[in-house]
Structure 1
Amino acid sequence: MFIAELRRLQWERIAGLMDTERMAAYAPSRDPRAIRYETQRLERLMTDVAEAERSGVAAVEIRRHRVYRIDARPTAGSCSAGIPAPTVHLMAASPDEAAERAWAMHGRDGGLYQRGGHHIASVKQVLPEPGEMF
């Protein structure tokens, strides 16, 4: 739901811009926010390339973020009967990174996974298109 809400807000912003600028079709080159997003993306790319060159990596791997759903299940012997298993959605470059980030955020003492004795059961990409959300 959070992703759908973000997309709805973005399209409302774009529709307002199109009305204000009297665009027949959306042109990212006339959208200050789209220009800023692209500039930030290119800066991240240049930073990744520079870091790869410094570390001696022959080929730079450009990983784009996708949205993943991380499902958790109760561990054996835990007292989580009847409690729904937590599901987390987040953006990451790979399923492994998504699982690591989910555990880092929610696996600590008192975190979402620790409260009921859960472990990560699955990590699935939920938005099929690659790339950044906007």
Structure 2
Amino acid sequence: MRSDKLSAERIDEILAILDELKASGMKAEVFAQSKGLGYGQLRGWLSSAPRWRAQRAGVTLPPRRSTFVRAQCNPNPAPATDGSCQPAHARITCEVAQRRAQIDWPVAHAAECAQWLRAWLG
């Protein structure tokens, strides 16, 4: 067990700070400075807040998964109806939290696909 586990009281204090941030309409970085908090610390709290709120409500969230995304490639593309040969495409399905995306991407442009996936997955 982690020795730095937060108490229920501290979690409630942090959630109150996050509620104050939301109500203020300020950018998180400016809000953190105004409260004397580190921006990185505030961002960490923001990422943990949904789990903390669920715990406080007695709801169990499924654990976050960080898994490999398997691309399904078709190395032998079917010819197009006009007789030309289409480039091979990879069909990639990504699920992160409640977001889901399925894309067909040309294998010849794999670097651009990887860049897009990194941006989308955050």
TM-score by length of 2: 0.29
Larger radius of gyration: 2
Q: Say which structure, 1 or 2, has more relative contact order (CA 8 Å, 6+ apart).
A: 1
TM-score by length of 1: 0.28
